[in-house]
Every structure is written in structure tokens, then in C-alpha cells.
Amino acid sequence: LPTTTASTNNRLTFFRFNFLIRTMASHIVGYPRMGPKRELKFALESFWDGKSSAEDLQKVAADLRSSIWKQMADAGIKYIPSNTFSFYDQVLDTTAMLGAVPPRYGWNGGEIGFDVYFSMARGNATVPAMEMTKWFDTNYHYIVPELGPEVKFSYASHKVVNEFKEAEALGVITVPVLVGPVSYLLLSKPAKGVEKSFSLLSLIDKILPVYKEVVTELKVAGATWIQFDEPSLVMDLDSHKLQAFTHAYSELESSLSSLNILIETYFADIPAEAYKTLTALKGVTGFGFDLVRGSKTLDLIKGGFPSGKFLFAGVVDGRNIWANDLATSLCTLQALEGIVGKDKIVVSTSCSLLHTAVDLVNETKLDKEIKSWLAFAAQKVVEVNASAKALSGQKDEAFFSANAAAQASRKSSPRVTNEAVQKAASALKGSDHRRATNVSARLDTQQKKLKLPILPTTTIGSFPQTMELRKVRREYKAKKISEEEYVKAIKEEINKVVKLQEGLDIDVLVHGEPERNDMVEYFGEQLSGFVFTVNGWVQSYGSRCVKPPIIYGDVSRPKAMTVFWSSMAQSMTQRPMKGMLTGPVTILNWSFVRNDQPRYETCYQIALAIKDEVEDLEKTGINVIQIDEAALREGLPLRKSEQAFYLEWAVHSFRITNCSVKDTTQIHTHMCYSNFNDIIHSIIDMDADVITIENSRSDEKLLSVFREGVKYGAGIGPGVYDIHSPRIPSTEEIADRINKMLAVLESNILWVNPDCGLKTRKYSEVKPALSNMVAAAKLLRTQL
Ligand code: GLN
Ligand code: ZN
């Protein structure tokens, strides 16, 4: 027999592969970049630390890309995306593509390399990073473009074309993905020095020529489809903004002839007006919709879809980790096929899979039953293709029946349902839960007991998390040290933190949270209804990832969670010690939530569990309890029509946690942002006794709320210094900020505290900063 060389073998496999697998009408909007074991994170961080070369980083990235393309090709996906990889962020990639580098980064033209790119992302020795903000209602953060009339746009990064060619060389013709020009502008902010009134959309005719160049180059390289992500279309845009889409895509049309254009929308139902504008775009071949979040888009499609165009039907959830209910999806797809035509429907994901975990295969610690209910990105790819095959009459019966069996086991599993919890939670709906007395009367009662000075000082909860502390927790978890040793070590830490605060003369103390890894995980691990993954990471920003817990069943609290540590801490001091809890809305918003009941029901269940904890804390003599709702605003739906309902049940859930406490028990809450001008009435409606909020990076925003006449009767502690920075604020500086607040807020409701928890700081920063903070409060007390 003749010996075959490796390369003929490869060719043969590739040929066979193409011959046997007919690709179905299936599409993936985007895919996680980090890698199944966060390979990209480690490669990036090692490169940033100077421990590896740019080539090393490029190699890891190329390997990740090729394995993703291969995986999708093997699964039979027809429309495989490229350029959904990024070294940091896809919006920043677009900024690089357009050459829109802010002048302070010293770019002198030419192809943008790692230097300039990572300086924009992370800052460098002399210049801070560009601003970062949340990508719609996800926990992903993008780098905000800074644009003004002066920016000279030019084609300065060929990444999208390079990636297309890279895939092509591997035998995969991909669909290059670009952040659409209109969403790009709508996600930007005016550069420093540019008036607020500057219209970002007025730049559209300046960026379109670059887009045209890119598209032309992609066409020459062999692309037949291009995907433009325009998620802004799901926001409630006015007609002026909608017109920008019509303008942009008719402009682009000339360079697009013979190319198929897909406009992809996601994260919510698309408003009727936007749907009309979008589907009227002439040069566009396909439209992608999120059919998981909301059901109104489906009605719009049923009400009319342009003939001859492709519908990319996003039925597989890109925001969650649950296996798709394939039978139900197939029904939806068949109904849609009846409307748009047989060869015009493409099965897709609801949005990029960037927002879900990567691969279930690596979850070796999850038990089999729960695992059968889940699908991470890699599994979702298979689901998309199986649905497309079924739609074309080639249903994989075995796959579908295994899926049906898993769905049925999830529905009937006794692990999911807890009758008592279901009953208690549904009894809450429609009723209200409030403390009996109003907040100013409560504050008076509390003051009699607490006897705090005016401008009382406190901190937000955590103290520095040292290496030793992490080690102790790790070793205890791994059973390398005994419970006794662990308790001893944590107790010593708490004692140290208590003594430190007493020494600093802080008025209301915290125990420092040394026993907690993460404010949600700590509670999730002690509540039933939660499971945890080993590798279920989701990119948050740059190389940072989070690993959200999975809420799979009814939530209950088998036993007290924080009483042991809080009462121990209280016993160490005469001063009030704050009990420290994470609120139900934050636990919900930072988890993968079950999709078999409305979110509010799950939230009410968590609220009841936290309520039990609040009551137990109160019973052991804790008089001040802080219930953090760091992520309350994060869950706010994108569509205005849905916001009031969310705020109503979210705020109600918070009130449930503490509606039963005595007037003498002071309830605090904490929030990590200050741009809540639009939700201030909901925040007042939470009816906490004291709220501490982030503020130091945006004094003005926060204070303007009160300047505009909003009456705030409860205690309020706008952060007096930024804990995200190692800088130590001086006494004068802090006093100055407090004075600014006193100009709009009554002195008897003002608290003095940092912005957020101190866990990422060093003691060498925390001690002088807190000491200056207390000094500033004392200084002002003498002047009031
Ligand atoms: N109590 C928490 C802490 O201090 C609050 C953290 C947060 O708001 N993100 O760490
Ligand atoms: Zn915070």
C-alpha cells in the first residue's frame, strides 16, 4: 500500500467531511473568546506582565479561534462568525478599525498595534484608560469611544479581514461580524471639551467611508455575508435615530452589491417602529432577532416579514446556561417557516454566546442529573444545528428524545420543587410589605438607642483581603486545615479589623467579611436551590471573568448563614456592629437564573430566605443590618415599557427582607453606582433607613437629584472617596466633598463613608484614608 503523507490525509478528511455533512441553515451570532479554561485570560495577563511575548499571545489567540471555527464547522453550522474574537473588546476593536484613537495615546497613524490598543483599554504609565461601561443589560463592559467633530477617521486596523482570511486558510468561509455603524455611534460619548449638545450621529458620514473600505476588502477576500450587530435597535429610539439606520444602510448599499448583509439585533423585543424601519431596509438580506427575551418580536414577524429576505431566528438562549427545549423551539421555527418561506429561515442564537459559559464538558463536579439540564456555548452550537436539521426534515430522533427526557426530568425533579417555598412565595404576590412606622420616626427611635454623633462614620463591609486570608479559606475548603483552625484564624482577623476601626474612632463597625470569597457566592453556597460550576466563566471586561452561580430550584435557607460571625464580631465591641447581607435582587442579577418560572418568583424566594436571616440577626442583638443591593439597577430592562414592573417587584423583594424588624433595628442598603436619577423614586421606595452609595467619581450627577428638589428623608452616605484607586485622599479634600453634600442634604441625614468595600485595597492605603475620613467628619461636626 502506498503511504499517505499527513497532508493528503488531512485533505482526505476534509473532503470526506464536506461530503458527508450537509450544512444546515444554522447560524451563531458570536462565541466566547476566553477559551474553555480561560486560556486567553492567562495569555493576556502574562503578556501584560512582560512574562511572554506578543507572538506567544498571538499564538494562543489563533489556536482559540481555529478551535472555535473547527468546532462549529464540525457541528455543521452554515453561518460561522469571525471577528467575534477580541483581545479586549469588540467596541474597542471598532474604534481601532476606524482609527478613532483619542490623541492622548500618541498614535501616529499606521496599523494599530498592541501598544496603542492596550493603552486605550488599560491605560499606561502616563495616561489612564478610556472609560468602560456596561454593554446593554449584560455584565460585559465595553470601552466607550470618545468622539468629536475633530476626529479624523481612517482604516487603521485590518483585524476583521485578517481573521476572515485566517479562517479561509483553514477551509472555513465565515461571516465577518462588525459592530454596526449606528450602534457604534450611539454607544459613544462626546470627547472631552466637546459640548454635550454635540450630535454623535452627525459623524455617520465620516465613518461610513471606512466601513465601505472594510466591506470592499472583505468582498475581495471572498466573503459572501457580512453581519452588522445593531443591538441599539431594541432600545426605544426616536425617529431621528431610526432614520440614521435607513441613511447608513442605504449609503452602504452601493458597496454591498453582491454581498449579503445580515443585521443582527438582540437582548430584547424590538419595538414596532424599529422593526418597521429595519425590515424596510432595501440592501439588507437578512434580519436577526432575539426570540428568547420577550415574545412581542414573534408577533411582529407574524404580522409581516418582507418577502425574499432571510430571518435569523434566535431561539437558543445566549444569556443563560439551560438546555434548549428543542421540541418547543421546533414548533416556533415551523410556524416562522410558514411565514418567511422554506429556504429563508436560519436557526440562530438569541445573541452572542459571549454571555454564557463556554463548555459543559469541563464541569466534572456537577452531578449528572443537573448537568443534563444544562447547555453552555459549545452545547448550544450543537442545539442550533440539531434544530436546523430537524426543520429541514432530518431530525436526529435520539438527540431530540434525550433532550425531551432531560426537560421532563427537570420539570418533575423533587430537587427543583419545594412546595412550602412555592406556597410562601406566591402568597407574596399582589400583597405589600412595609415597615409599620415611617422612616423619620424610625430614625428617631434608632438614634435613642444608637446615640450616634452627627455625620456618623462607617464603611461598606469588606476590609482588605490579604494573601494569608485567601490561603486560609482555600485550605479550609480543601480540608487541609480543621474547622477549629479556620474559625480561629477568621476570628483573629475579625478582631484585628474591629480593633482597627475602634482605633480609628469609626462609629458603626463592620466585621470585614474575611470569611467571604464573593458577596453572592457566599450566600448561594449556603442556600438550597443553587449549584456552582468549576469553569463556568463569563467575560466581564478585558481579561476579567465572573463565575455566576446557577439557581436551578426553589430557594430556601436550611440554617443561619451569617449569625455566627456577626454575633462574634458584635461581642468584641461596645459599638454597633453591622450585620452584612447581600440582597435578593443582587443575588438574582448576578446568577444564572432558572427559566422555568418568572424572575420575580425566584427573587421573592430569595427575599424570604434573606428575611429569615435578618430576623435571626436581630434576635442575636444586631441592631444595624446592611442589605447590599449593588446590582439592583443592573437588572433594569432595556425597554422602557418593562421597567416599572421590574422596579416594582425588585423593590418589593427588598422590602420583604426587612419588613418585620423592630423600629429600633436600623436597615442599611448599599449601591455601587450613582446614576440613579431616573430610578430615585424606586430607591426611596425601598424604605431603607440608611443608604450608602458610590459617588466619588460623579459628585455632580448624584447631588443634582437632590438639588432638583427630590425629598430624601432617610439617612444617606454618598461615598467620600474612591476605593478603586490606591490614592489616599486628604482630610481637606474629604471635608470639601462633605461640604458639597451638606449644601443639598440636611446634616442630620448625612453619613460619611467610602464608596464601596475595601477588599481590593491594601492596609497601607486603607488606614490613612479612613483616618483622614474620620478626621474630616470630626472637623465638620465642630462647624455645624
Ligand atoms: N459589602 C460588600 C463589600 O464591602 C459590598 C460590595 C459591593 O458593593 N460590590 O465588599
Ligand atoms: Zn459597592
Q: pLDDT of 74-86, one tens digit each? A: 999 999 999 999 9
- Secondary element (H or E) of residue 348: strand 345-349
Q: 589 C-alpha to center of ligand 1: Å?
A: 15
Look at residue 36 in the predicted model and tell me its pLDDT.
97
Does the beta carbon of 371 lie inside 6 Å of ligand 1? no
Residues tagged active-site: 724
pLDDT band at 698 (very low <50, low <70, confident <90, very high): low
**Was 545 annotated as part of a binding site?**
yes
Q: What is the mean pLDDT of residues 619-638?
A: 96
Does the beta carbon of 519 lie inside 6 Å of ligand 1? yes
Pick from 769, 756, 766: nearest CA to 674: 756
Percentage of the chain lying above the pLDDT 90 cut? 89
Could you give the 3-state DSSP secondary structure of residue 34? coil
Does pLDDT of 312 surpass 90? Answer: yes
Q: What is the mean pLDDT of residues 660-666?
A: 98
Bridge partners of residue 550, in order along the sequence: 531, 592
- Angstrom distance (rounded) from CA 672 to CA 486: 31
Closest-CA residue, ligand 1 atom 3, reads: 757
Pocket test for ligand 1, best of 590, 696, 756, 766 (most atoms within 8 A of CB): 756
**In contact, 314 and 234? CB cutoff 8 Å:** no
CA of 308: how far to CAs of 79, 265, 330, 342, 565, in Å? 18, 19, 22, 11, 65
Look at residue 779 in the predicted model and tell me its pLDDT.
98
**In contact, 548 and 538? CB cutoff 8 Å:** yes
Does pLDDT of 590 surpass 60? Answer: yes
Q: What is the mean pLDDT of residues 442-456?
A: 98
Burial of 193 (C-beta count, 10 Å sphere; 0-12/13-18/19+): exposed
Cell numbers found for residue 766:
486603607
Look at residue 250 in the predicted model and tell me its pLDDT.
94
**In contact, 506 and 523? CB cutoff 8 Å:** no
Burial of 710 (C-beta count, 10 Å sphere; 0-12/13-18/19+): middle
Look at residue 14 in the predicted model and tell me its pLDDT.
43
pLDDT band at 465 (very low <50, low <70, confident <90, very high): very high
Pocket test for ligand 1, best of 139, 462, 760 (most atoms within 8 A of CB): 462
Which long-range CB contacts under 8 A does 415-422 form with residues at least 24 apart?
A: 415/369, 415/370, 415/552, 415/553, 416/552, 416/553, 416/554, 416/594, 416/596, 417/553, 417/554, 418/528, 418/529, 418/553, 418/554, 418/556, 420/556, 421/554, 421/555, 421/556, 421/605, 421/608, 422/554
Q: Which ligand neighbours the alpha carbon of 695 most closely?
A: 2
pLDDT tens digit sequence for 758-779: 999 999 999 999 999 999 999 9
Does pLDDT of 647 surpass 80? Answer: yes
pLDDT band at 5 (very low <50, low <70, confident <90, very high): very low
**Was 369 annotated as part of a binding site?**
no
Look at residue 7 in the predicted model and tell me its pLDDT.
42
**Was 683 annotated as part of a binding site?**
no
Q: Which ligand neighbours the alpha carbon of 722 most closely?
A: 2
Q: Among 10-19, 275-284, 612-621, 657-666, where is mean pLDDT lowest? A: 10-19
pLDDT band at 699 (very low <50, low <70, confident <90, very high): low
Does pLDDT of 256 surpass 90? Answer: no
Cell numbers found for residue 199:
450630535
Q: 655 C-alpha to center of ligand 1: Å?
A: 19
pLDDT tens digit sequence for 108-131: 999 999 999 999 999 998 998 999
- Angstrom distance (rounded) from CA 57 to CA 46: 9
Supply the mean pLDDT for the chain.
Answer: 94
Look at residue 182 in the predicted model and tell me its pLDDT.
98
Query: Distance from CA of residue 447 to its chain's centroid?
Result: 38
pLDDT band at 342 (very low <50, low <70, confident <90, very high): confident
Q: 515 C-alpha to center of ligand 2: Å?
A: 18
Kindly provide the ipTM of the predicted complex, given to two decimals.
0.99
pLDDT band at 11 (very low <50, low <70, confident <90, very high): very low
Pocket test for ligand 1, best of 139, 459, 460 (most atoms within 8 A of CB): 460
**Was 672 annotated as part of a binding site?**
yes
List all residues 6 or more positions away from 501 whose beta carbon is below 8 Å from its beta carbon.
459, 509, 510, 575, 770
**In contact, 719 and 758? CB cutoff 8 Å:** no
Look at residue 697 in the predicted model and tell me its pLDDT.
63
Closest-CA residue, ligand 1 atom 8, reads: 630
Look at residue 446 in the predicted model and tell me its pLDDT.
98
**In contact, 748 and 453? CB cutoff 8 Å:** no
Does pLDDT of 12 surpass 70? Answer: no
Q: Degrees (nearest 5) of the Cα angle 665, 669, 672?
A: 165
Q: What is the mean pLDDT of residues 179-197?
A: 93
Look at residue 8 in the predicted model and tell me its pLDDT.
40
Does pLDDT of 470 surpass 50? Answer: yes
Ligand 1 atom with minimal separation from the 462 CA: 4
Does pLDDT of 9 surpass 50? Answer: no
Look at residue 18 in the predicted model and tell me its pLDDT.
44
Q: 182 C-alpha to center of ligand 1: Å?
A: 36
Percentage of the chain lying above the pLDDT 70 cut? 96
**Was 141 annotated as part of a binding site?**
no
Q: What is the mean pLDDT of residues 642-658?
A: 97
Does pLDDT of 677 surpass 90? Answer: no
Q: How many CA atoms lie within 13 A of 261 on its CB side?
A: 26
CA of 182: how far to CAs of 50, 233, 244, 681, in Å? 37, 9, 7, 32
Pick from 113, 631, 75: nearest CA to 353: 75
Q: Which ligand neighbours the alpha carbon of 586 most closely?
A: 1
Q: 458 C-alpha to center of ligand 1: Å?
A: 13
Look at residue 672 in the predicted model and tell me its pLDDT.
86
**In contact, 264 and 229? CB cutoff 8 Å:** yes
pLDDT tens digit sequence for 44-67: 999 999 999 999 999 999 999 999
